[in-house]
Structure 1
Amino acid sequence: MRKKFVYSFLAVFLIFSLGACSEKTKEAPDTNKSESKETHSKQTAHWSYEGETGPEHWGELDQANATCVDGSEQSPINIEFSQVITDKKTENIQIQYEPTPFTLVNNGHTVQANAKTESNSILVEGNKYKLAQFHFHTPSEHQFNGQHYDMELHLVHKDANGKIAVLGVMIQEGEKSEKLASIWDVLPKEETREGIPVKEPIDLQGILPQDQRSFHYNGSLTTPPCTEEVKWVIFEEPIEMSKEQIQAFQQIFPDNHRPVQSSNDREIYETK
């Protein structure tokens, strides 16, 4: 009886052991597959301005970027002055800016200044958009009559429904920009995880060109996922930065512009 009891106990123990091994074997591949997918997603979501992850490949890197290839109203574009519509009545935008504190980040694609308050806004076609951030590109992303400027400033705004309006400001070499000096004093050369406080409030109104004639058109974000239905307002008059200021940015980002996209017969209006 004792031997039969021992044999029976061993048999039951062996059955449970094999069952447990079987469950572990089933779980392991699923877990690994999940991790593999997550890693793959992170890798393919990476984009840049050159090589295999450059602008011509953005649409291939992630399904979320499909609009970069399939969109019909992509930005930036070349603005040919001879094709701009000037005889249609278009409301001037209303800019409501005041000196505001910002924090700086280097996100790996540009230097971006994030607003710490919602006190800055613009009115475009009667709709209010609040400033979220501004950042820089070199050379300029938009072209005027097929020509780039040294840099371009983008001021990105969002309305209550998440719709976007961007003010674009061309930058050319000239006098030092005192209004942007406090940002240039702390330009982050490496990618950052936390915002770097700018010592002084930034007077964006003082940065904008005095002549505020501008071009208006419907476009997109110029970075993935290239979201469309963006209201673009590009000032015709450039602002100036010194050669040293421009070179300081280009040492961090030698080239972070998306090439111009097809206008697809979009209408571009000028306000005076």
Structure 2
Amino acid sequence: MLSVLLSVLLIVFVFVSSSHATCVHGTTLMPRAEGNITLPTWGYDGETGPINWASMNNNYTACRTGTTQSPIVLTANITYTAEAPKWNLTNVEEADFENLGSTIEVLLSDGTLEYGGTVYKIKQFHMHTPSEHRINSEYFPLEVHFVHQSDAGDLAVVGILFELSEDGTSTKFITSTLTNLHEIVEPATTTKTGPLDFSVVTQAVADQKIFQYKGSLTTPPCKEGVQFLILETPMPIDVKSYNAIKRVLKFNSRFTQNVPGKENLLSLAADQAGRGSNSTGGSGGGRSEEGSAALTEPFVAKAVIAALLAALSPYLLLN
């Protein structure tokens, strides 16, 4: 018990000292500060974007070296849940709704997720546009992450993908969430949602096929060991609601990572850059000092950017 407590305290220290407005905002790993939103120093563009996160803080190295990173492309190689998770969320009349700079987030406190013998408590849900996960390489306009935490500090995320509806229909809890979105257009602002009824999403988890895998936070510090449960069938969102979200979030999706267990794409790209440097310089094979150091410089190597263009290409179509 003592070892578990010490581990949790160590993780809390790392998160509090290095992270701002991450996917775990509102958990014990990054407690919510009343009346104060600290905006992140990282982002999704240029030198502060995902390719260079690991160079921005010593605690972000997993973004470059981790081998079970998220998000990923969900294919037939990713297993479904053997049985439906038990997910209970209490409907609320309103909830705190915040613009964290990196996402928009709704704080929740009454609900549980039971999966794999562990009970997790709901903490919040937040949004990514476009979707971070892809199914058989297809991306979706929106992905909502419901973040849960167990008493031991473990994290579980229920991910729901959204598709634009052709008939103008929309999932009710989304439209109710957005009731006062116009009040938090600017980062570090807060408001309230409208009434939230979660019955549609909890029923979907009970009825639908769900991809499951162990991955990581999709924002710095990219901590691994996160249980992901991603619904296979997207839910509808109307164009007006989607555009309202997109105007606020703009773009907040990390590029898809390598297959779980395989070498991190950034490390792989650095390795290839090092091999190219060795070939030019006439030295032997293997990773050169130049190649290994490229990702610790303030600016990421051009070779790394080129190697990741394929992973980013679906998202570039949105701009």
Answer yes or no: is the 8 Å Cα contact 2:43–2:50 preserved in 1.
Answer: yes
Q: 1:257 aligns with which of 253, 262, 265?
A: 253
Out of 44, 50, 64, the residue aligned to residue 45 of structure 2 is 50
Give structure 1 stretches of 5+ with no counterpart: 1-40, 267-272
Mapped partners of 1:234, 1:103: distance in 2: 25
1:104 and 2:100 correspond: no
TM-score by length of 2: 0.64
How far off is 1:212 after superposition? 2.2
In the other structure, the counterpart of 1:241 is 237
After superposition, the CA RMSD in angstroms is 2.0
* Aligned position for 2:286: none
What letter corresponds to residue 196 of structure 1 in structure 2? T
List, as ranges, runs of 4+ consecutive aligned residues in structure 1 with deviation greater than 6 Å: none
1:171 aligned partner, one-letter code? F
Deviation at 1:152, TM superposition (A): 0.3
Aligned pair partner of 1:178 in 166, 172, 175: 172
| AA partner of residue 97 (structure 2) | L
| Contact residue 91 and residue 125 of structure 1 kept, 8 A | no
Q: Deviations over 1:36-73 (max 9, x none)?
A: xxxxx99xx71000100000000000011111111111
Partner in structure 2 of residue 93 of structure 1: 85
Task: Give me the identity figure in percent.
Answer: 30
Alignment partner, residue 80 of structure 1:
75
User: Are the aligned partners of 1:103 and 1:114 in contact in 2 as well (CA < 8 Å)?
Assistant: yes
1:114 to 107, 113, 119: 107
Matches within 5 A, 1:5-16: none
Q: Which amino acid aligns with 2:96?
A: T
Residue matched to 1:22? none
Whether the aligned pair in 2 keeps the contact of 1:209 and 1:235 (CA below 8 Å) is no
Larger Rg: 1
Unaligned runs of 5+ in 2: 1-18, 21-39, 263-319
Matches within 5 A, 1:101-180: 101-115=94-108, 117=109, 119-174=110-165, 175-180=169-174
3-state SS in 1 of match to 2:243: helix
The amino acid that maps onto 1:110 is T
**SS of aligned partner of 1:182:** helix
Q: Give the CA deviation at 1:178.
A: 2.5
Q: When the two structures are aligned, how many residues end up with a matched partner?
A: 217
* Residue 187 of structure 2 is aligned to residue 196 of structure 1: no
Structure 2: distance between partners of 1:226 and 1:260:
13
Output the CA distance in 1 between the equivalents of 2:79 and 2:185: 41
